[in-house]
Structure 1
Amino acid sequence: MDVFRSLKSRNFRLFFYGQSVSLIGTWMQKTAVCWLIYRLTDSALLLGVVSFVSLIPSLLLSPYAGSYIDRHNRYRIMMATQVISMIQAGALAGMILLRFYNIPGIIALSLVQGIINAFDVTCRQSLMVEMVENKEDLPNAIALNSTMSNFARIAGPALAGIVLSTFGEDICFVGNFLSYVPVLISLLMMKMTLPEIQPSEHSIWKELKEGWDYISGDKDLSSLLLMLAASSLLVMPFNTLMPIFAKDIFHGTAKTFSWFESAAGLGSILSAVYMAQLKGGKDMVKIMITASLIFGLSLILLSYSGWLPVALFFMMLSGVGMMAQTSAINTYIQTHAVPQMRARAISYYIMAYQGMIPIGSLLTGLMSHLMGPRLTVFFAGLVGIAATVVFVQQRRRLSAGQKEEILSGQLKA
């Protein structure tokens, strides 16, 4: 099928299958951590803190990670990050198995995972170009990678809901630890031929500045990254409050919470399948604008839904918008950034995406504490729509300015 064309590349196929298993384990653990924290503390603020520490390293370390990865063998870095992630998952599983419910300990291990992810996510994204043999299939590979991630977002929480209510938290954490085995096997089976890394004459700090100059000098890239940063800071963190929606607003259990996560994941899959079948040359900016409006509107409608099935429908719609928004920006960056700057450009994408979410999670937890979860989600949707309108207006001004410059040059000639 055309929608799976990038799986013809052996290395990407191995990567895809291995990560599919691992990401289900990751989402099982994420769901279990959120439920465990809220069950033990009843604190919306602590939910925000856990999200904050697991993602804040992406804000602080991603630009450095991009420069570091551009200077080293990406395959070896990815092997190292997966091994360290497995060790971290094992430590967390051991803590839960021993009934050592230490909140600072869970937060500390979440921080460790965040530091690993700052390097791992940037590395995986930049290595995808090398995994796909036919470069025309790269947008398809990016969309399939997103499909895989969002299928895990459905299967992981759904499985976690069953496991949590039947066996308890232990199995979720042990499952995540074991899920790294297929990833490591698939990586070892790969036959990667990477371009030889030439020793750089410049310091990593100078290359950091070069990356910043490149991004800030490209108005299309920088405007998309600013849009993503605004969405990540003020819109996407709404899902931090889903345990509260499930437990307090809809008087549910861990299974109810897993339905919210799975609904968003289902919407994301529908969106990712649409993105995967797109041919080259599609206007990713227009797709991003449409997706952002869908995302914002769905949150406004979700915020005051009084019936669970309706709330789950709008949660699904939020997954459609969020997935298409981030995937369109990711595809644009990977297909437009010059090769020698790709990892650094992707690192700013990770910084704007995952790096801003933790700050937003803290703000969301605080706002929910002050004015309630429903009003907080309503505000997130409103901001999403407002940010999209500002982006469109700014893009029109930029386009008009470029046309004036061209016209002025022609008149002078």
Structure 2
Amino acid sequence: MAKPPSVGWALVRNGDFRLFGAARFLTSLASEMQVVAVAWFVYDLTKSAFALGLVGLAAFLPAILAAPITGHVADTYDRRLVAAGAWGVATLAQAGLFVFALQGMQSVWPIYALVVVMGIGRAFASPALSALLPTLVPREQFGTAVVWISSCWQSASVLGPALGGVLYILGAKTVFGVTTGIYALGSILILAIRFRPEPKSARAPITWASLSAGLSYIRSQPVVLGAISLDLVAVLLGGATALLPIFAAETLHVGPLGLGALRSMPAFGAVITAIWLAYRPLTRRAGPRLLQAVALFGVATIVFGLSHSLWLSMASLLVAGAADMVSVYVRSSVVQGETPDAMRGRVSAVESVFIGASNQLGEFESGTLAALIGAAPAVVAGGVATVLVAACWGRLFPALRARDRLMAM
């Protein structure tokens, strides 16, 4: 039976939860605007698929290199301060992009350097925020809270690319100037959260055991490991977002406005699904639904790679986003709902690496493969691989396939 709407309204009345949601919305909005602007800017300078792939690699490297320490920091210090400081770093990176565009520089390497700085900010913010959310709401409301926050994030992912595409008409400097202000506001909002965690009697020393505890915990939980690794492999192989500028410019001939619309479609599909899940949450067969969603994501990716119609391309991306929302919903509920609070930062840091690998590193993989065989064949091959991964994971992780309830009792 679906949860009553009163659960959702109870969350809306939670002041700290509102601040958290507003901050996530704003920073996600700024991130999506920046991604569109950077992608078009880099492609306009280089006309190279491989150069687009390097943007993803630059964003991913800080996440994997800093993952052990970011989780430890999130479990040791005030998570509000960690997230606000990380977004302050992102604000400085946006200001650097603004100056770069304002000066009209033609070299692409400073852009990569600033994307790395952005990646450092995200590497510290992500585990801190993921670990903070479960402390702001009662356990029985957590599944609904995940949907609400995912809706904020996905709504920003719908508006951000479109807004970035429109503002890009006025130049990249306009986009980067706006995103600088938005990130600064997000930092202020997260600092305004009144929740204070119980002070720790002593901060744990930094040891290899403490740094690797998140990975050790995930390895000991077959359902958690299966859900996270499925997201990693599927999106790593099946992601097509890095190549959207090529499809917009050379296949569909729609320019930066069309690129913004294409980039918005996955998030639009995710928002629709999130609204549905808020009032009709998954109560049974969570594992099989996750595997089916990943397979559907692969099929939608294949359709996009073969399409030469703007409307069919947009529809396939919308379906892919809807399927991905189911994956996010199940994975986030399982991981954060079942992880002890003292471990959440380190587990979230490992999860962030997996997510970063599936997104940013997936962009590098897509760009490299497209440079070798072409954009459309690369996307189709990735979609086929994703469908095969969904089938294989059902056999490799029987506990995931057999998982019935979303959260263990």
2:123 aligned residue (118, 124, 127):
118
Listed one character per residue, the Cα deviations across residues 150-175 of structure 1 (whole Å, up to 9, x for unaligned) are 1111111111222223x122211101
Q: 1: distance between equivalents of 2:321 and 2:282?
A: 24
> Aligned AA for 1:49?
L
Q: Which residue number in structure 1 is paired with residue 163 of structure 2?
A: 159
Work out which of the residue numbers 177, 183, 190 in structure 2 matches 1:180.
183
Shift of 1:114: 0.5
State the partner residue of 1:377. 379
Structure 2 match to 1:37: 42
Residues 1:206 and 2:194 aligned together: no
How much has 1:34 moved relative to structure 2?
Answer: 0.4
- Counterpart of 1:324? 326
Alignment equivalent of 1:136, drawn from 140, 147, 157: 140
TM alignment of 1:8-407, pairs within 5 A = 8-132=13-137, 134-165=138-169, 167-236=170-239, 238-279=240-281, 281-396=283-398
Residues 298, 381 of structure 1: 8 Å contact kept: yes
Q: CA RMSD in A?
A: 2.0
Contact 1:6 1:141 in 2 (8 A): yes
Q: Aligned partners of 2:192, 2:275: CA distance in 1, in Å?
A: 27
Structure 1 segments (4+ residues) deviating >6 Å: 397-400
Q: Match for 2:183: what amino acid?
A: Y
Deviation at 1:199, TM superposition (A): 2.0
Gaps in structure 2 of 5+ consecutive residues: 403-409
Equivalent residues of 1:64, 1:208 under 8 A apart: yes
- Paired with 1:330 and 1:63, the residues of 2 have a C-alpha distance of 20
- Go from structure 1 to structure 2 and tell me whether the alpha carbon gap of 1:182 and 1:309 turns closer, same or farther (over 3 Å shift): same
Instruction: Return closer, same or farther for 1:100/1:398 CA change in 2, 3 Å cut-off.
Output: closer
Could you tell me how far 1:118 is from its partner in structure 2?
A: 0.7
Q: CA deviation at 1:125?
A: 0.8
Indicate conservation of the 8 Å contact 2:234/2:390, yes or no. Answer: no
Q: What is the letter of the counterpart of residue 341 of structure 1?
A: M
Is the 8 Å Cα contact of residues 68 and 212 (structure 2) preserved in structure 1? no
Shift of 1:319: 0.9
Task: Check 1:168–1:209 CA distance in 2 against 1; reply closer, same or farther (3 A cut).
Answer: closer
Q: How many residues align?
A: 397
Q: Deviations over 1:358-400 (max 9, x none)?
A: 3322221121112111111111111111111011122338889
The TM-score, its normalising length taken from structure 2, stands at 0.91
* CA distance 1:52–1:136, shift in 2 (3 Å): same
Native 8 Å contact 1:265 1:319 kept in 2:
yes
The aligned amino acid for 2:34 is Q
Kept in 1: contact 2:16–2:193 (CA 8 A)? yes
Would you say the 8 A contact 1:73–1:197 is kept in 2? no
- In structure 2, do the counterparts of structure 1 residues 176 and 398 end up closer, same or farther at CA, with 3 Å as the change threshold? closer
**C-alpha separation between the residues in 2 aligned to 1:19 and 1:324?**
19
> Residue by residue, what CA displacement relative to the aligned partner does 1:140-192 show, whole Å, maximum 9, x if unpaired?
12111111111111111111222223x12221110101112432332343212
State the 1:45 CA deviation.
0.4
- Higher mean C-alpha displacement, 310-319 vs 50-59: 50-59
The change in CA–CA distance for 1:229 and 1:398 in structure 2 (over 3 A counts) is: closer
- Given the superposition, is the C-alpha separation of residues 101 and 275 from structure 1 closer, same or farther in structure 2, using an over 3 Å criterion? farther
Q: Is the contact made by 2:229 and 2:354 (CA closer than 8 Å) also made in structure 1? A: yes
CA distance in 2, matches of 1:229, 1:399: 17
Q: Which structure is larger by alpha-carbon Rg, 1 or 2?
A: 1
State, as a whole percentage, how many aligned pairs show the same letter. 22
Contact 1:65 1:118 in 2 (8 A): yes
Measured in 2, the distance between the counterparts of 1:309 and 1:197 equals 54
Residues 247 and 126 from structure 1, CA distance in 2 versus in 1: closer, same or farther, beyond 3 angstroms?
A: same
Which deviates more, 266-275 or 169-178? 266-275
1:409 aligned residue: none
User: Structure 2 vs 1, CA of residues 201 and 365 (structure 1 numbering), >3 Å: closer, same or farther?
Assistant: closer
Q: What's the counterpart of residue 410 of structure 1?
A: none
Q: Give the letter aligned to residue 328 of structure 1.
A: V
SS of alignment partner, residue 148 of structure 1: helix
Q: Which runs of 5+ in 1 are unaligned?
A: 401-413
**Is 2:39–2:52's contact at 8 Å kept on the other side of the alignment?**
yes
3-state DSSP class of the match of 1:30? helix
